[in-house]
Amino acid sequence: MTAGGRRPRRRTYHHGDLRQELLRVAEEIILERGVDGFTLREAARRLGVSPAAPAHHFGDARGLLTEVAAEGFRELAQELTAADKSGGSDLTARLHAQGAAYVRFALKRPARFQLMFRHDKHDTANPEFKDVARQAYGVLENAIRAATRTAADESLTPDGYALLLAHWSIVHGFAHLVLGGEISAMKAGSDVTDEALLDSLLPQMLKHLRIP
Amino acid sequence: MTAGGRRPRRRTYHHGDLRQELLRVAEEIILERGVDGFTLREAARRLGVSPAAPAHHFGDARGLLTEVAAEGFRELAQELTAADKSGGSDLTARLHAQGAAYVRFALKRPARFQLMFRHDKHDTANPEFKDVARQAYGVLENAIRAATRTAADESLTPDGYALLLAHWSIVHGFAHLVLGGEISAMKAGSDVTDEALLDSLLPQMLKHLRIP
DNA sequence: TGTACATCAGTGAACGCGCGTTCACTGATGTAC
DNA sequence: TGTACATCAGTGAACGCGCGTTCACTGATGTAC
């Protein structure tokens, strides 16, 4: 048991891997206390390190959280890409697979997911962050381009753009409803597992999306 | 100008309308600083009242915020109902109108909207709150029942349920993307007005939703 | 291979801040007779 | 119509708390020669 108030003591003066460990516990804390519940002091406490130590690696909380969020976009882009490929040449299958991957990511990494869209917690000057976020977006855009026969050098048609947003909105909204507890509140009594949501409910929802 | 640091002084000992005014400034503060930026002291400060005064009416911050959220659900239910009626006997029109009303509400009252889904900020013991939230949900459910020919005493079919969630997810997700700044970030340069989002983009998106 | 020294990573005490809440209080209002 | 008194609404000083950040510091590491 690695209980809450514990302050592990190191034997060495240097931590060795403080930077990585800070990124890890940040996510842990957000999961337990929400994005706004994160504090640098708590992160330091959990690693048995002085409150001033994190500043050495990230400057401030915003810097640390931005890196957590960036890592989230990197992972999301990766999983969207893998899902996209799994759809083969079937354009509808590609979009459905991407949608499932999006929601699966949100459920697997709720802390990161919520942080990723909290721009007030990001360091807007970080160029890396913008880059990886755009990359994740690009995976969806490419599938929409294929579905609407739009070459990479053309701009999306208004309708293609509307389809892109409809798709993004539906999976983004569903992820938020699930994480917010709206779905389980609605079906009070019968407890819904993540598997049921992903394997049965979400595909049924996506079938209602009209894809050219 | 009712600037930030100002502390208006009353002439009377009793405020007269402190309860209502607290609900009003709560929304004002959330709009400026986010849901987590709200504090009882700041609310008291803005009304020129001692920090202990709010406790008299709401107990604590959770109590106050729950009432703001409840009022939001009341208003949302009202606007969804009005929109639903405007659709006449056309089932698709009813759902599209409800969708537009949902997003319009979110854009008109961003502070309330975001608070309404922050269950960690609500007093879960408040029965009124659950009631009005269920009522708003009921307006959507009724339209889905009509669209899927499901009587009030039957339970929704799996497909009807999937359609309900697809519709809710799409408008909920879109509202979050807009409020989170994702849409304007995407179309950087060309600034998008709320009117354009509501009158042109959203209807196009909803057209992609397949309704029986 | 050894040594001097710069740089890096972390310490821990201290600071000032704004917060929620408590407390004994007081001014205003409403009501019973 | 007047008065006594209970209740209600707000005061303002005080408390303890956890926070981010600063500071002079020190132990460990890496590098030039």
Query: Does position A4 have pLDDT exceeding 80, yes or no?
Result: no
User: Which residue in the set A119, A183, A208 is minimally distant from B163, CB to CB?
Assistant: A208
pLDDT tens digits, A39-98: 999 999 999 999 999 999 998 999 999 999 999 999 999 999 999 999 999 999 999 999
Stretches in chain B below the pLDDT threshold 70: 1-11, 13
pLDDT tens digits, B36-64: 999 999 999 999 999 999 999 998 999 99
Which neighbouring-strand residues pair with B209? A209
Q: What is the pLDDT of residue B186?
A: 85
Residue type, A117: F
Q: What is the mean pLDDT of residues A169-174?
A: 98
A212 touches chain B (CB under 8 A): no
Phi, psi of A101 (to 5 degrees): -65, -35
Query: Does position A143 have pLDDT exceeding 70, yes or no?
Result: yes
Q: What is the pLDDT of residue A185?
A: 87
Q: What is the pLDDT of residue A10?
A: 62
Q: Which residue has the higher pLDDT, A6 or B158?
A: B158
Q: What is the pLDDT of residue B3?
A: 32
Q: Do A183 and B165 touch (CB under 8 A)?
A: yes
Please tell me whether residue B209 adopts helix, strand or coil conformation.
strand
| Nearest CA-CA partner of A101 in A119, A79, A122, A117 | A79
Query: Does position A193 have pLDDT exceeding 80, yes or no?
Result: yes
B50 CB-side CA count, 13 A: 6
Q: Do B181 and A36 touch (CB under 8 A)?
A: no
Average model confidence (pLDDT) across chain A: 92
